[in-house]
Amino acid sequence: MLEMFKKAKEAKTKLKELSEMKKDEALMNIAFGIQNNAKKIIDANNQDLKNAKKLLEEGEITKAIYDRLKLDERKLAIMIKGIHDIIRLKSPTDKVEWRRELDSDLILEKISSPIGVIGVIFEARPDVIVQITSLTIKTSNVVILKGGREAQNTNKAFFDTIISSIKNVEGFPLEAVNLIHTREDVANMLKMNEYIDLIIPRGSNSLVKYIQENTKIPVLGHASGICHIFVDESAKKDEVKNIVLDSKAQYPSACNSVETLLIHKNYPHKDDLIQFLKENGIEIVENPKNYETEYSDKILSVKIVDSLEDAINHINKYGSNHTDAILTENKKNAEEFLSSVDSANVFHNVSTRFSDGFRYGFGAEVGISTNKTLARGPVGMDGLCTYKYIIRGKNQIVADYVSGQKKFTHKNI
C-alpha cells in the first residue's frame, strides 16, 4: 500500500512531462475503451444492481442510491460525450497568469501548475470515476480513487477499462490512476500527508465530516449545502414560483437545492407562493427550530424578513457559503445582494441549481468548494482575496436545460 502511494507521488513528474497531446490521446483511448467495453461494464453494473436490490429490500440503502447506481447505454453515451468535452477544452496547467519585469533580465512569472496527488472518495454514482479521471489526466494530476461499496463491480470495470486504454499511450505512467477498495485503505490514505496533496470527498455530510476530522491533508469540498432564496418586494409572481420550485424540487438531494426561503414582508404574493409550493408536494416549515438543517428532501424552511439587509444577515449567519439567490426586479438590491452575500455562488433571478461545473461550462466538476483561501508563494493583496461566481439571469430554471428544451451556449464574452 505504502508502495502505491510512493509510486503515485513519483508519477507526478512523469505525468507533468507528457505533452497535452499525449494526455488527450489517453482521454480519447478511454472514450473508445468505454464504448468497446460497454457490454462488460453494463454486466458488472447489473451485478451491483442485483446486490443493491437486496440491500434496498433490507432497508440498508435508499431508493435514491439504488437509482443513481444504474447505468445504461444512454448514460454511457453521456459519459463518452463528457470526455470529448474535456478533450476540447484547453488545460489550464502551465498557463502564464502574468509576467512582470523585476529588473532588467529578472523576469517573474505566475504560472499555473498541477496540485499533485489527489485522493477522491465518492459514493454510489459510478460515472464519477470517469469524470474525475478525465479531469485529473487533463490537468496532469495523479489520482487515487475510492468508490462506494455498492458500485464496486462497476467501478472495477471502469478502472480496468481506463488502465488498458492508457497502457497504449507511449510514456504514460500507469501509476497516475489508482483504485483503492476498502475502508481500511481510506483510513490509510488519510494518514499519507507526505504523499497526498489533496483529498476530495464527494458524498453525504457524514462522509465529508468524517474525512475532515481524520486527516491533516487539505480537504476540498463542503459538508453542508444550506442554500437560500430571498424573494424581494418587487419579485415577479410567476417567475418566483417557477424558480423556487426548480431550486427545491428539480433534484432535492443535490447540495445546491434550496433549503430556506426568505420572503420580504411586503412581497404581495406570499400566500399564493406558499399555496403553490404545497400543491407541488413541498412541505413548508414556518419558524423552524433551526435554520441550519439540510433537508435534502422536498421540505423548505420559510421566514419572513423585514428588509434586504435582514436577508443578507440571515444568509451570512446561517448559510454554508455555497449558493444563494435573490429574486427581484430592483437592480440596486440585486447588486447589493451579489456583493454582500459571502458565498461561493451568488445569483440574481435564476435557480440555485445552476451552480454546477457542467452548467458553468467547466466540462465536468470534481465537486463544489466552499473553501476561501487561495494563496501560494508571497501573499500580497491578491492572496487576501478569494473569488465568487455570480450569475445574472432572467428567471431561467435548471429543469429546462435538463429536459433539453434549452441548451447552454458557453461562450466567453
Q: Which of residues 16-35 bind its own copies (CB under 8 A)?
A: 16-17
Nearer to its own copies, 22 or 40 (CB): 22
Region label for 145, one of left (φ > 0), alpha (ψ between -120 and 50) or beta (otherwise): beta
What is the closest distance, in whole angstroms, from the C-beta atom of residue 363 to its own copies in the complex?
6
* Cβ contact 312:340 at 8 Å: yes
Q: How far apart are CA 144 and CA 360, in angstroms?
A: 26
What is the closest distance, in whole angstroms, from the C-beta atom of residue 41 to its own copies in the complex?
25
Q: Which residue, among 287, 365, 297, has the nearest Cα to 128 in the 3D structure? A: 365
Q: How far apart are CA 136 and CA 198, in angstroms?
A: 12
Q: Tell how strand 345-350 and strand 299-305 pair up.
A: unpaired
Other beta carbons less than 10 A from residue 305's beta carbon: 19
Other beta carbons less than 10 A from residue 78's beta carbon: 9
What is the closest distance, in whole angstroms, from the C-beta atom of residue 316 to its own copies in the complex?
7
The angle, 0 to 180 degrees and rounded to 10, between the axes of the packed helices 331-340 and 308-318 is 20
Q: How far apart are CA 196 and CA 118, in angstroms?
A: 6
Site map 169..198 versus its own copies, x via CB under 8 A = ----------------------------xx
Q: How far apart are CA 132 and CA 158, in angstroms?
A: 12
Q: Which of residues 120-139 bind its own copies (CB under 8 A)?
A: 135-136, 138-139
Binder among 53, 54, 237, 372 for its own copies (CB under 8 A): 372
Other beta carbons less than 10 A from residue 22's beta carbon: 16
Angle at 29 between CA 24 and CA 30, to 5 degrees: 95
Nearer to its own copies, 218 or 288 (CB): 218
Site map 103..122 versus its own copies, x via CB under 8 A = xxxxxxxxxxxxxx-x----
User: Of 32-40, 177-185, 235-243, 384-392, which part binds its own copies (CB under 8 A)?
Assistant: 384-392
Q: How far apart are CA 324 and CA 348, in angstroms?
A: 9
What is the closest distance, in whole angstroms, from the C-beta atom of residue 79 to its own copies in the complex?
16
What is the closest distance, in whole angstroms, from the C-beta atom of residue 228 to its own copies in the complex?
16
Q: Map grid coordinates 454514482 to a residue.
A: 125
Q: Is 2 in the site for its own copies (CB under 8 A)?
A: no
Nearer to its own copies, 148 or 367 (CB): 367
Nearer to its own copies, 244 or 368 (CB): 368
Residue 271 C-alpha from the chain's centroid? 34
Non-local (6+) Cβ contacts of 284 within 8 A are 274, 277, 278, 300, 302
Q: Is 87 in the site for its own copies (CB under 8 A)?
A: no
Q: Which of residues 193-252 bind its own copies (CB under 8 A)?
A: 197-198, 200, 218, 220
* Cβ contact 96:111 at 8 Å: yes
DSSP 130-148: HHHHHHHHHTT-EEEEE--
Q: Is 410 in the site for its own copies (CB under 8 A)?
A: yes
Q: Is 77 in the site for its own copies (CB under 8 A)?
A: no
What is the closest distance, in whole angstroms, from the C-beta atom of residue 350 to its own copies in the complex?
7
Q: Which of residues 273-332 bind its own copies (CB under 8 A)?
A: 312-313, 316
User: Of 46-54, 180-188, 324-332, 362-370, which part binds its own copies (CB under 8 A)?
Assistant: 362-370
What is the closest distance, in whole angstroms, from the C-beta atom of residue 107 to its own copies in the complex?
5
Nearer to its own copies, 11 or 61 (CB): 11
Nearer to its own copies, 240 or 312 (CB): 312
Binder among 4, 5, 8, 12 for its own copies (CB under 8 A): 12
